[in-house]
Amino acid sequence: MTPEKIEQEDLQPSILSYVKDIPNLCSLAGLACTVSAIYLSILGVYYGAMIGMIWAVAFDWADGLIARRMTGRTGNDRIFGGQLDVVIDIVSYGVTPAVLLLSYGKFEPIFLVGAFTVLAASAIRLSYFSTFGLSSDSKYTGLALDNNSIVLVFLFLFDSIFSETAFSFILYAVCILLAALNVAQIKTPKFSGNPTSVYVLAIYTFSITGIYAWRLL
């Protein structure tokens, strides 16, 4: 190994040094909410899962807002944070809805197809965005994945109106529709970068949390 190579490796920060970065801490807090949502979905505590899902979105939006307002972040900080976001997004907006659909469908084989579709669309959507980024007019191509959780959390407000079987197929249809929109050649605005949208999401998050917490009592 050459002296230059050794010096380069010595200058590399440690892996865990990035954990102290505030936006990354926000991302990890969102991941904790996501893990809780997955766990509660498997247990069948769907209202609790909804709380975890919406807070995951809230932390996801907050980390970007904080990162843009921070000074002194290096290029490596931004690259690491972007990669961390992508990895967490596939769990929050791909794995979580897939597990939710499977659990609500009593893990029947027909729901496995829907779960795969949701997860595959999420993976394709994130890979496309990582390759091409925003369009020339600063819009997303395809529906951004965070909208999936926002819609599903809203949908569960009406689950008591339908029978469990009927709602399971409504959930299935909505998940497939969202997956189709994720990979569609449509242009959608970037809400997460807008401070006004973040404040609206904060109100939505606290409202949803209150509603579902009351239902859990």
The model's pLDDT over 86-111, given as tens digits with 9 standing for 90+, comes to 999 999 999 999 999 999 999 999 99
Given the structure tokens 């899962």, which residue do they identify? 49
pLDDT at 6: 47
Query: Of 9-13, 21-25, 114-118, 156-160, which range is least confident?
Result: 9-13
Domains, in order of start, for the chain: 18-216 (1.20.120.1760)
- Compute CA distances 58 → 114, 185, 199, whole Å: 26, 26, 10
Direct distance between the N- and C-terminal alpha carbons of the chain, in angstroms, rounded to an integer: 63
184, pLDDT greater than 70: yes
* DSSP bridge partners of 140: 188
pLDDT digits (tens, 9 = 90+) for 12-24: 888 888 888 888 8
Distance (Å, rounded) from C-alpha 164 to C-alpha 169?
9
Rounded Cα distance between 140 and 121, Å, is: 15
